[in-house]
């Protein structure tokens, strides 16, 4: 059986045809799938976690025990962006609301 001889010119002429067979539709579908995976594995859970965190910050009341910046204390006053927490008898400090990590009712 004779072997078929492949000439480099033949390969060079058919290469663009093979490359364009997928077209833009395949590439677009691939990009959409990758963005969907990123959204459902990274963006959506992070948005959900941030919404829960904001809900926790909004639910802080005077008298709650909080962990803020590694310091436990009892909330004495609530401002727009800060909390006054008592960390010991008579020792009250200002802490940013965003520094609160946990709230104990």
Within 13 Å of residue 62, how many CA atoms lie on the same side as its CB?
A: 5
Tell me, yes or no, whether 89 and 46 share the same domain: no
Domains in the chain: how many in total? Answer: 2
Sheet holding 82-88, edge to edge: 91-96, 82-88, 71-78, 65-68, 100-104
Residues 89 and 51 in one domain: no
Indicate if 54 and 10 belong to the same structural domain: yes
Q: Give the predicted TM-score (pTM) of the model.
A: 0.65
- The pLDDT assigned to 23 comes to 73
Does residue 40 sit in the same domain as residue 90? no
- Are 70 and 52 in the same domain? no
Residue 30 in this model has a pLDDT that exceeds 80: yes
Q: Which domain holds residue 15?
A: 1-58
- Whole-number Å distance between alpha carbons of 1 and 5: 12
Does 6 lie in the same domain as 51?
yes
Quick one: what percent of the chain has pLDDT higher than 70?
79
CATH value at residue 102: 2.30.30.60
């Amino acid at each position: 059986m004779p072997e078929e001889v492949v000439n480099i010119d033949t390969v060079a002429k058919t290469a663009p045809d093979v490359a364009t067979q997928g077209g833009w539709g395949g590439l677009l579908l691939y990009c959409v799938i990758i963005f969907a995976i990123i959204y459902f594995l990274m963006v959506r859970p992070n948005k959900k976690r941030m919404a829960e965190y904001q809900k926790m910050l909004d639910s802080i009341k005077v008298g709650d025990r909080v962990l803020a910046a590694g310091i436990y204390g009892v909330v004495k006053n609530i401002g727009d962006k800060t909390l006054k927490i008592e960390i010991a008898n008579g020792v009250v400090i200002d802490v940013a609301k965003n520094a609160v990590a946990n709230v104990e009712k």
